């Protein structure tokens, strides 16, 4: 699974470089938009449907490879680790809050369907638009500064807590998360192979891996593959369906009790 993670990293960096090149050469938001993304605020229905289908099949690969804000957050989290801000055991499982995500998504939808002033709320919450506006496209100096300040704030959050923005505020993340919990391909923890070290949970920047219960919240999983890459016993696989215990827990407990009674 380490190879899969490295492929994902290479693809995400390549996509970010492509977007930067398009902007630098004067292609602007429109060309980059049709090349790369599902933009919610300046919205292409065809791209949106395509990515929803991809997510239903493969999970939130958009968030780990195509979204420029996601890549920037990963860079911030990686730097935090490299510079010693966080060490082993920094991340912990946190229950998701669909109520908060739903309220924020509803506010974004309402603002996106309003007049030109209210649409700014949607623009400044959409990850793709934020990155593009930070470069100065389609906004004046004040708009660019506002986008830069929000982007820096998101980077600081990522430095400290990982992908909190993606799984709390981002409207694209909320939409794709609603679909990805039903995706065909998912990361799955094999309880027969898991040794209970907790390394997967400690490396999950989405805080969606519960090592104790061998579960992953697929609505928040951004398919970064970090958990699978650090698993010492190769217990986490990207597969169709969930692995079932070869020996059910009840049978294990009964066997263990019987063996204990037989001991002198």
Q: In the chain, where are the structural domains located?
A: 2-179
CA distance 200 to 186: 15
Judge whether 221 and 189 are in contact, CB under 8 Å.
Answer: no
Task: For residue 87, give both structure tokens.
Answer: 């060490």
Most distant CA atoms of the chain, gap in Å: 82
Residue of 264, 220, 15 whose CA lies nearest to 128 = 15
CA distance 47 to 43: 8
The whole-number pLDDT of residue 210 equals 94
The whole-number pLDDT of residue 112 equals 73
Neighbouring C-beta atoms of residue 164, cutoff 10 Å: 18
Residues 6+ apart with CB under 8 A from 53: none
Task: For residue 43, give both structure tokens.
Answer: 């919205």
3-class SS of residue 209: strand
CA distance 206 to 222: 7
The whole-number pLDDT of residue 261 equals 43
CA distance 86 to 92: 12
Measure the CA angle with vertex 251, ends 249 and 253; round to 5°. Answer: 70
Judge whether 180 and 166 are in contact, CB under 8 Å.
Answer: no
Q: What size, in residues, is the chain?
A: 264
Cα separations (Å) of 38 from 22, 103, 108, 127, 201? 17, 21, 15, 10, 29
Cα separations (Å) of 93 from 77, 135, 175, 208? 16, 35, 22, 6
User: Along the 264 residues of the chain, how does pLDDT read in single tens digits?
Assistant: 788 899 999 999 998 888 788 777 765 555 555 544 444 444 566 778 888 899 999 999 999 998 989 999 999 999 988 887 665 557 899 988 888 888 888 888 888 777 766 777 777 888 887 887 777 666 677 878 888 999 999 999 999 899 999 999 898 899 999 999 999 999 999 999 999 999 999 999 999 999 999 999 999 999 999 999 999 999 999 999 776 665 554 444 444 444 344 444
Cα separations (Å) of 144 from 67, 135, 139, 150, 201? 19, 7, 6, 10, 37
- In 42-201 the beta strands, taken as DSSP E runs, fall at 185-189
pTM of the model: 0.81
Q: If residue 3 lies in a helix (H) or strand (E), which one and from where to where?
A: helix 2-24
């Amino acid at each position: 699974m380490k190879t899969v993670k490295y492929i994902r990293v290479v693809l995400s960096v390549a996509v970010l470089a492509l977007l930067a090149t398009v902007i630098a050469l004067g292609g602007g938001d429109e060309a980059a938009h049709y090349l790369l993304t599902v933009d919610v605020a300046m919205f292409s229905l065809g791209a949106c449907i395509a990515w929803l289908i991809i997510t239903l099949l493969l999970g939130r690969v958009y968030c780990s490879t195509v979204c420029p804000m996601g890549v920037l957050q990963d860079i911030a989290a990686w730097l935090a680790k490299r510079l010693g801000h966080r060490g082993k055991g920094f991340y912990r499982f946190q229950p998701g809050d669909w109520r908060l995500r739903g309220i924020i998504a509803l506010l974004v939808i309402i603002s996106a369907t309003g007049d030109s002033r209210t649409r700014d709320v949607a623009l400044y919450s959409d990850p793709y638009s934020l990155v593009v506006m930070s470069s100065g496209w389609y906004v004046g100096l004040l708009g660019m500064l506002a986008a830069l300040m929000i982007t820096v704030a998101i980077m600081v959050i990522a430095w400290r807590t990982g992908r909190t923005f993606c799984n709390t505020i981002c409207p694209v993340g909320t939409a794709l998360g609603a679909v990805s919990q039903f995706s065909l391909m998912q990361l799955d923890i094999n309880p027969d192979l898991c040794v209970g070290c907790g390394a997967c949970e400690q490396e999950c920047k989405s805080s969606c891996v519960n090592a104790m219960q061998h579960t992953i919240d697929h609505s928040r999983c951004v398919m970064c593959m970090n958990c699978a890459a650090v698993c010492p016993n190769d217990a986490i696989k990207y597969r169709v369906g969930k692995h079932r215990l070869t020996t059910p827990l009840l049978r294990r407990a009964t066997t263990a009790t019987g063996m204990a009674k037989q001991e002198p």
